[in-house]
Protein backbone atom coordinates (compact mmCIF):
# COMPACT_ATOMS: atom_id res chain seq x y z
CA UNK A 1 0.00 0.00 0.00
CA UNK A 2 1.25 3.48 -0.84
CA UNK A 3 2.26 5.76 2.00
CA UNK A 4 -0.32 8.40 2.85
CA UNK A 5 0.11 11.82 4.38
CA UNK A 6 0.71 11.49 8.16
CA UNK A 7 1.67 7.82 7.90
CA UNK A 8 4.81 6.95 9.85
CA UNK A 9 7.49 6.15 7.29
CA UNK A 10 9.15 2.71 7.36
CA UNK A 11 12.09 2.37 9.75
CA UNK A 12 14.57 0.58 7.52
CA UNK A 13 18.24 -0.30 7.68
CA UNK A 14 20.31 0.17 4.53
CA UNK A 15 23.78 0.48 3.08
CA UNK A 16 24.93 3.84 1.71
CA UNK A 17 28.09 5.30 0.21
CA UNK A 18 28.74 6.83 3.66
CA UNK A 19 28.30 3.56 5.56
CA UNK A 20 25.42 1.53 6.96
CA UNK A 21 22.40 3.23 8.50
CA UNK A 22 20.86 0.83 11.02
CA UNK A 23 17.68 2.84 11.59
CA UNK A 24 16.19 5.40 9.23
CA UNK A 25 14.21 6.86 12.13
CA UNK A 26 17.36 7.32 14.22
CA UNK A 27 19.12 8.91 11.24
CA UNK A 28 16.31 11.47 10.93
CA UNK A 29 16.69 12.36 14.61
CA UNK A 30 15.13 15.75 15.40
CA UNK A 31 15.46 16.99 11.82
CA UNK A 32 13.20 17.24 8.85
CA UNK A 33 14.25 14.84 6.11
CA UNK A 34 13.88 14.46 2.36
CA UNK A 35 14.23 11.06 0.72
CA UNK A 36 14.37 11.12 -3.08
CA UNK A 37 14.64 8.20 -5.47
CA UNK A 38 16.35 7.74 -8.82
CA UNK A 39 16.10 4.90 -11.32
CA UNK A 40 19.81 4.26 -11.79
CA UNK A 41 23.33 5.68 -11.48
CA UNK A 42 25.12 7.11 -14.54
CA UNK A 43 21.90 8.25 -16.20
CA UNK A 44 21.45 11.81 -17.51
CA UNK A 45 18.35 13.09 -15.72
CA UNK A 46 19.42 11.55 -12.40
CA UNK A 47 22.83 13.18 -12.64
CA UNK A 48 21.30 16.64 -13.09
CA UNK A 49 18.94 16.07 -10.17
CA UNK A 50 21.64 14.89 -7.80
CA UNK A 51 23.65 17.93 -8.86
CA UNK A 52 20.72 20.20 -8.02
CA UNK A 53 20.43 18.68 -4.54
CA UNK A 54 24.18 19.04 -4.00
CA UNK A 55 24.20 22.73 -4.90
CA UNK A 56 21.35 23.36 -2.42
CA UNK A 57 23.43 22.14 0.54
CA UNK A 58 23.23 25.50 2.36
CA UNK A 59 19.46 25.70 1.84
CA UNK A 60 18.88 22.29 3.43
CA UNK A 61 21.09 23.21 6.38
CA UNK A 62 19.25 26.52 6.93
CA UNK A 63 16.01 24.58 7.18
CA UNK A 64 17.33 21.89 9.53
CA UNK A 65 16.74 19.25 6.87
CA UNK A 66 18.70 16.11 6.03
CA UNK A 67 18.59 14.74 2.49
CA UNK A 68 19.19 11.17 1.36
CA UNK A 69 19.09 9.72 -2.14
CA UNK A 70 18.05 6.24 -3.24
CA UNK A 71 19.28 4.34 -6.30
CA UNK A 72 19.24 0.65 -7.10
CA UNK A 73 22.96 0.42 -7.84
CA UNK A 74 25.61 -0.57 -5.31
CA UNK A 75 27.88 1.46 -3.08
CA UNK A 76 30.88 1.22 -5.42
CA UNK A 77 28.86 2.60 -8.32
CA UNK A 78 27.53 5.40 -6.11
CA UNK A 79 31.05 6.46 -5.19
CA UNK A 80 32.17 6.48 -8.82
CA UNK A 81 29.03 8.34 -9.94
CA UNK A 82 29.55 11.12 -7.40
CA UNK A 83 32.55 12.29 -9.43
CA UNK A 84 30.33 12.85 -12.47
CA UNK A 85 27.70 14.62 -10.38
CA UNK A 86 30.21 17.03 -8.86
CA UNK A 87 31.96 17.67 -12.18
CA UNK A 88 28.73 18.49 -14.02
CA UNK A 89 27.07 20.55 -11.27
CA UNK A 90 29.92 22.23 -9.43
CA UNK A 91 28.32 21.10 -6.17
CA UNK A 92 29.61 18.75 -3.50
CA UNK A 93 27.66 15.58 -2.73
CA UNK A 94 27.62 15.65 1.07
CA UNK A 95 24.59 13.42 1.64
CA UNK A 96 24.23 9.63 1.66
CA UNK A 97 22.97 7.58 -1.28
CA UNK A 98 21.19 4.35 -0.40
CA UNK A 99 22.30 1.23 -2.29
CA UNK A 100 18.85 -0.27 -2.85
CA UNK A 101 20.11 -3.29 -4.76
CA UNK A 102 17.33 -5.55 -3.47
CA UNK A 103 14.60 -2.91 -4.01
CA UNK A 104 13.62 -3.07 -0.31
CA UNK A 105 13.38 0.72 0.00
CA UNK A 106 11.72 1.12 -3.40
CA UNK A 107 9.03 -1.38 -2.44
CA UNK A 108 8.53 -0.09 1.11
CA UNK A 109 7.98 3.44 -0.20
CA UNK A 110 5.99 2.21 -3.26
CA UNK A 111 8.41 3.76 -5.76
CA UNK A 112 8.02 1.24 -8.58
CA UNK A 113 5.85 2.04 -11.61
CA UNK A 114 2.76 -0.04 -12.40
CA UNK A 115 4.48 -2.00 -15.16
CA UNK A 116 7.08 -3.32 -12.69
CA UNK A 117 4.45 -5.52 -11.01
CA UNK A 118 3.43 -8.96 -12.25
CA UNK A 119 -0.28 -9.98 -12.20
CA UNK A 120 0.23 -11.81 -8.90
CA UNK A 121 1.69 -8.71 -7.28
CA UNK A 122 5.32 -9.82 -7.38
CA UNK A 123 7.99 -7.60 -8.90
CA UNK A 124 10.60 -8.85 -11.34
CA UNK A 125 14.20 -7.66 -11.00
CA UNK A 126 13.26 -4.25 -12.40
CA UNK A 127 15.23 -1.15 -11.43
CA UNK A 128 12.91 1.33 -13.15
CA UNK A 129 11.86 3.25 -10.06
CA UNK A 130 9.82 6.38 -10.58
CA UNK A 131 11.20 9.72 -9.38
CA UNK A 132 9.67 10.17 -5.95
CA UNK A 133 10.25 12.75 -3.24
CA UNK A 134 9.18 12.27 0.37
CA UNK A 135 9.33 15.13 2.85
CA UNK A 136 9.30 13.73 6.39
CA UNK A 137 8.82 15.61 9.64
CA UNK A 138 10.80 15.21 12.87
CA UNK A 139 7.93 13.01 14.06
CA UNK A 140 8.90 10.51 11.30
CA UNK A 141 5.59 11.07 9.54
CA UNK A 142 5.15 11.74 5.85
CA UNK A 143 4.24 15.38 5.26
CA UNK A 144 4.34 15.55 1.46
CA UNK A 145 5.15 13.33 -1.51
CA UNK A 146 5.69 14.02 -5.19
CA UNK A 147 6.05 11.46 -7.98
CA UNK A 148 7.39 12.09 -11.47
CA UNK A 149 7.87 9.72 -14.41
CA UNK A 150 11.39 8.58 -15.31
CA UNK A 151 11.63 11.08 -18.17
CA UNK A 152 10.86 14.31 -16.28
CA UNK A 153 13.41 16.00 -14.03
CA UNK A 154 12.15 17.54 -10.82
CA UNK A 155 12.05 21.23 -9.90
CA UNK A 156 13.98 21.37 -6.65
CA UNK A 157 13.09 25.02 -6.23
CA UNK A 158 9.50 23.83 -5.75
CA UNK A 159 10.66 21.23 -3.25
CA UNK A 160 12.40 23.95 -1.21
CA UNK A 161 9.26 26.11 -1.45
CA UNK A 162 7.06 23.24 -0.29
CA UNK A 163 9.44 22.55 2.60
CA UNK A 164 9.22 26.20 3.66
CA UNK A 165 5.42 26.00 3.58
CA UNK A 166 5.34 22.77 5.58
CA UNK A 167 7.63 24.18 8.24
CA UNK A 168 5.67 27.45 8.46
CA UNK A 169 2.30 25.72 8.78
CA UNK A 170 3.61 23.25 11.36
CA UNK A 171 5.12 26.00 13.50
CA UNK A 172 2.37 28.61 13.32
CA UNK A 173 -0.88 26.71 12.71
CA UNK A 174 -1.64 28.48 9.43
CA UNK A 175 -2.17 27.47 5.80
CA UNK A 176 -0.48 28.82 2.69
CA UNK A 177 -2.12 30.00 -0.54
CA UNK A 178 -1.19 28.95 -4.06
CA UNK A 179 2.38 29.80 -5.07
CA UNK A 180 3.22 31.01 -1.55
CA UNK A 181 6.82 31.91 -0.76
CA UNK A 182 8.45 33.14 2.45
CA UNK A 183 7.51 36.75 3.15
CA UNK A 184 4.02 36.55 1.67
CA UNK A 185 0.78 36.50 3.65
CA UNK A 186 -0.57 33.22 4.96
CA UNK A 187 -4.13 31.96 5.44
CA UNK A 188 -5.91 31.69 8.78
CA UNK A 189 -7.62 28.27 8.97
CA UNK A 190 -11.45 28.33 8.93
CA UNK A 191 -11.53 26.50 12.28
CA UNK A 192 -10.14 29.65 13.95
CA UNK A 193 -12.93 32.19 14.54
CA UNK A 194 -12.42 35.92 14.02
CA UNK A 195 -12.03 36.69 17.71
CA UNK A 196 -9.34 34.06 18.20
CA UNK A 197 -7.69 35.09 14.95
CA UNK A 198 -7.36 38.69 16.15
CA UNK A 199 -5.94 37.51 19.47
CA UNK A 200 -3.39 35.25 17.77
CA UNK A 201 -2.47 37.16 14.63
CA UNK A 202 -3.58 40.75 15.23
CA UNK A 203 -5.07 42.33 12.14
CA UNK A 204 -6.05 40.30 9.10
CA UNK A 205 -7.60 40.86 5.68
CA UNK A 206 -10.94 39.12 5.14
CA UNK A 207 -10.87 38.60 1.37
CA UNK A 208 -13.95 36.38 1.73
CA UNK A 209 -15.77 35.23 4.87
CA UNK A 210 -13.80 31.97 4.71
CA UNK A 211 -10.56 33.40 3.23
CA UNK A 212 -8.60 35.50 5.70
CA UNK A 213 -4.98 36.47 5.12
CA UNK A 214 -2.44 37.71 7.62
CA UNK A 215 1.29 38.19 8.06
CA UNK A 216 3.26 35.12 9.10
CA UNK A 217 4.11 35.49 12.81
CA UNK A 218 7.79 36.04 13.55
Read off the pLDDT band of 122 (50, 70, 90): low
Together in a domain, 137 and 184? no
Predicted pLDDT at 102: 87
Predicted pLDDT at 218: 81
Q: Which CATH number does the domain housing residue 134 bear?
A: 3.40.30.10
**Domains in the chain, number:** 2
Taking 80 as the threshold, does the pLDDT of residue 130 lie above it? no
Together in a domain, 26 and 98? yes
Segments forming the whole domain that contains residue 178: 173-214
Together in a domain, 135 and 193? no
Predicted pLDDT at 123: 53
Three-class secondary structure assignment of 40-103:
CCCCHHHHHHHHHHHHCHHHHHHCCEEEEEEECCCHHHHHHHHHHHHHHHCCCCCCCEEECCCC
pTM, 2 dp: 0.91
Predicted pLDDT at 128: 58
14-70 pLDDT, tens digit each: 999 999 999 999 999 999 999 998 888 999 999 999 999 999 999 999 999 999 999
148-204 pLDDT, tens digit each: 888 899 999 999 999 999 999 999 999 999 999 999 999 999 999 999 999 999 999
Together in a domain, 26 and 128? yes
Predicted pLDDT at 110: 85
Boundary (domain end) residue, out of 109, 126, 154:
154
Predicted pLDDT at 34: 98
66-97 pLDDT, tens digit each: 999 999 899 999 999 999 999 999 999 999 99
Taking 80 as the threshold, does the pLDDT of residue 101 lie above it? yes
Together in a domain, 110 and 21? yes
Taking 70 as the threshold, does the pLDDT of residue 116 lie above it? no
**What is the mean predicted confidence (pLDDT) over 111-124?**
57
Predicted pLDDT at 95: 97
Together in a domain, 50 and 142? yes
Together in a domain, 124 and 190? no
Taking 90 as the threshold, does the pLDDT of residue 13 lie above it? yes
Predicted pLDDT at 115: 60
Q: Which residues are catalytic?
A: 46
Amino acid sequence: MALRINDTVPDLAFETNEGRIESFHDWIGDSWAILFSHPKDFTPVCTTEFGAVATLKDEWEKRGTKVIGVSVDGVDDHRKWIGDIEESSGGSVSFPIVADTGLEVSKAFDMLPAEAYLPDGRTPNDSATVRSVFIIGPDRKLKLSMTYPMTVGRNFGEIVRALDALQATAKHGVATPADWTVGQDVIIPPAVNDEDAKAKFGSFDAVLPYLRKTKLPA
